[in-house]
Structure 1
């Protein structure tokens, strides 16, 4: 399958490795998440606009949860 739709999402975090580690297990084969400095960069590819939208929405939800949990557990 050749994906015809792609999006790259870049977010800044204090605990990039921790947040990325929480996200990566939920990635599908069409997703690539990597740490670049203080950023988490995720590229999502899908063959349809609807599939891309759904996957990006799920990813952002997972990202929000991962960041919230990281904030909660790393605060003194």
Structure 2
């Protein structure tokens, strides 16, 4: 007999949270948005396996929520490279002036 759990959570941007969660889902997990709520269904053969998946899911949910909050607030990291200084002791600076 399989063990099952359904986790339902509400978020300001449920689609974004669900997209952030899906890559970490195992084959036994499904994450969808249903009526504005993130719904994840987990099915495992053992209680300990189900418990382990739920623990991992809760951690992933925290990260996904943080990502969604940062994105919504405009705190995304810029893709523009910046000079962070010397990368190694062998780097040299050449003055071409």
On whether the aligned pair clears a TM of 0.5, the verdict is yes
Structure 2 match to 1:71: 69
In 2, Cα distance between equivalents of 1:24 and 1:73: 17
Query: More helix per residue: 1 or 2?
Result: 1
Structure 1 regions of 5+ residues with no counterpart?
A: none
CA RMSD for the aligned pairs?
A: 1.2
In 1, Cα distance between equivalents of 2:64 and 2:27: 20
Query: More strand per residue: 1 or 2?
Result: 1
Kindly name which structure, 1 or 2, has the bigger radius of gyration based on alpha carbons. Answer: 2
In 2, Cα distance between equivalents of 1:37 and 1:14: 13
In 2, Cα distance between equivalents of 1:9 and 1:55: 11
TM-score, structure 2 normalization: 0.72
Structure 1 match to 2:48: 50
2:11 to 10, 13, 37: 13
CA drift of 1:68 comes to: 1.1
Structure 2 regions of 5+ residues with no counterpart?
A: 75-97
CA drift of 1:27 comes to: 0.9
TM-score, structure 1 normalization: 0.90
| 1:12-51 correspondence to structure 2 within 5 Å | 12-51=10-49
Structure with greater contact order relative to length (CA < 8 Å, sep ≥ 6): 1
